Amino acid sequence: MPSAHDSLLERITIDSDVRFGKPCIRGHRITVQEILEWLSSGASQQQILADYPQIEPDDFLAVYAYAAELAAGSKVSRG
């Protein structure tokens, strides 16, 4: 049984045919990088959700989990 962290990471996909293989929210063309840039520029989760209603609140947790894996030096591979 996958941990909650692993379940969150399943929300992030990498497909070489979508956004040049950048990690994206599953089923969408919104990249992890874009979400992190919006948040670091001062946008709130609520603002992003209002602009992109196709994403879900747990997608933010997935972005944070993915970023944590990268910061820890772990190779994150999602297909």
Considering the entire predicted model, what is its pTM? Answer: 0.85
| pLDDT tens column, 59-69 | 999 999 999 99
Give the residue with greater pLDDT, 76 vs 25: 25
Q: Which domains does the chain have, with CATH numbers?
A: 4-71 (1.10.10.10)
Distance, CA of 19 to CA of 72 (rounded, Å): 24
| pLDDT tens column, 4-47 | 888 999 999 999 999 999 999 999 999 999 999 999 999 999 99
Listed residue (5, 17, 18, 28) closest to 76, CA to CA: 5
